[in-house]
Structure 1
């Protein structure tokens, strides 16, 4: 049985997961071609490169937004994140992850010139595509996990949950991309370590929120967590949903023969530990 183990050394985000899968041998050229089936390739480009995180060579995966998109986006902020990126507000965790997810909230009161993608419209985009059925169902399951959490936190049905336009592009690529690569690797079973969430507070549109953010913690119900003293947000909603949906069991490394190992890098550098997620693939 081919098993994949997520070792959440420094939390999880969508871009870190894809970086780790590419590092472990998944084909980024295949990923790029398959993602074209969504019909939004004019909105982004993909980039991946080797970087060094505290002595570990790892793969950094980036979603580069097109001019039209990036005019609403401060890419250099490390992509701060989901909860507020709308007006380029930076949250003190310059993050780690480029996971602009969700965003729910502001869409109700800002009539920006740019549109917002809803969970339902993203679900339809995936369903109507020519992606493999397993890729579609896995992608939709991950998006649904986020939408349910956001809906619960903000007190709205999932049909009304919105993803900020820029956040939606990152999230779509990270989530559908993860599903594409997992299917391409023909993984039979997924396990994961307990998840460290980080500590401290982040500043978002609604004010100063605790780490983990409410939606992230909601997504991770039922998932073993690990105490972490790192003063940063280590897990994004997208990263949380990928782990929560994919992993069937949690604990240490399973009993198996290791075939390949990959490291996916986050944006930030931490003084005392590498900002990576490790993927270990083996046969049992």
Structure 2
């Protein structure tokens, strides 16, 4: 079976949304167990099922006891180096923070080494990035395809005052990526969400042809006019896979997992209000043959 993960970023993407989606796809409930090797104290992460616009998904919250600590790039790289992570995860996590620092430095006229991760929230970003890398390593798709990315609009307040949305660092990270702006004015794609796209996505375009294996949803921080969630679909794109009738056409009940629920449900209403989040060998996705000829070419900035 050749599996492709399709990311539908119709409502944007953040680190928390990606974490929630991957937990949902892997049917895991304890993200902390995969992050036990992170050499960082004073934090915890929760994952609960919730609803956005009546759709059920996983709502992830990263909680820190540290307060608003500023960490430089060297501090973050030191934490990653001391953590008990696979070589692939450690390498990609370090690359992610270098990209974040380069993007922040470029828009503020500073060197990457001079950047302090105050807006991105070093603890939140570390947990989101390392967690997403660890979970993606477990999921191990052969290719990852993403839709055009909803970046939102309006303005957002941060350490530098009020900035336009998308935030300048997010724009820098999304160079070469197809984007659009739709729905309520808010920050729909954060720097951390943007850097995860840079790390993961092989190409951008429509959902590829294939047989749906599983779907999942990672929830944003609050409800909005669009369902505030990241949709992911795993497809078997093997050329030998035959067409299959749907369960409904066979008179069977569809799987209850990830079904649309309209029951009342308490939710904790994008990541950190989506306003001030940041921003080793290889995984088994290469993007070859994943989408049709009408798709956008491979992201030239994707980090292997």
Confirm or deny a common fold (TM above 0.5).
yes
Alignment of 1:245-264 (within 5 A): 245-264=199-218
Greater relative contact order (Cα < 8 A, sep 6+): 1
Asked if the contact 2:3/2:141 (under 8 Å) is kept, the reply is yes
What do the CA deviations read for 1:253-272 (whole angstroms, capped 9, x no partner)?
112222111101111211x3
- Residue aligning to 2:34: 34
- Residue aligning to 1:191: 145
Structure whose alpha-carbon radius of gyration is higher: 2
**How far apart are residue 228 of structure 1 and its match?**
1.6
Matched, 1:14 2:15: yes
- Residue aligning to 1:143: 97
What do the CA deviations read for 1:27-86 (whole angstroms, capped 9, x no partner)?
343x4233121221x3111111111111101110111223xx2xx3xxxxxxxxxxxxx5
Matched, 1:243 2:243: no
Q: Runs of 5+ in structure 2 lacking a partner? A: 238-304
Distance change in 2, residues 1:216/1:159 (3 Å): same
Matched, 1:46 2:23: no
SS at match of 2:126: helix
SS at match of 1:63: strand
Asked if the contact 2:73/2:112 (under 8 Å) is kept, the reply is yes
Q: Distance in 1 between matches of 2:119 and 2:187?
A: 22
SS at match of 2:222: coil
- Residue aligning to 1:61: 60
What do the CA deviations read for 1:83-109 (whole angstroms, capped 9, x no partner)?
xxx5xxxxxxxxxxxxxxxxxxxxxxx
Alignment of 1:68-147 (within 5 A): 69=66, 72=67, 115-147=69-101
What do the CA deviations read for 1:174-210 (whole angstroms, capped 9, x no partner)?
0000000000112221111110111112233333321
Asked if the contact 2:52/2:222 (under 8 Å) is kept, the reply is no
- Residue aligning to 2:154: 200
- Residue aligning to 1:230: 184
Matched, 1:278 2:231: yes
Asked if the contact 1:117/1:165 (under 8 Å) is kept, the reply is no
Asked if the contact 1:34/1:131 (under 8 Å) is kept, the reply is no
Please, what TM-score do these two structures have when normalized by structure 1?
0.78
- The total of aligned residue pairs comes to 236
Distance change in 2, residues 1:257/1:137 (3 Å): farther
SS at match of 1:10: coil
SS at match of 2:48: strand
175-184 or 145-154: bigger deviation: 145-154
Q: Distance in 1 between matches of 2:43 and 2:13?
A: 22
Asked if the contact 2:119/2:159 (under 8 Å) is kept, the reply is no
Asked if the contact 2:10/2:148 (under 8 Å) is kept, the reply is no
- Residue aligning to 1:24: 25
Q: Distance in 1 between matches of 2:191 and 2:110?
A: 17
Please, what TM-score do these two structures have when normalized by structure 2?
0.73
Distance change in 2, residues 1:216/1:250 (3 Å): same
What do the CA deviations read for 1:145-179 (whole angstroms, capped 9, x no partner)?
21110010111111222112981100000000000
Distance change in 2, residues 1:203/1:46 (3 Å): closer
Q: Distance in 2 between matches of 1:157 and 1:45?
A: 31
Q: Distance in 2 between matches of 1:213 and 1:256?
A: 35
**How far apart are residue 124 of structure 1 and its match?**
2.4
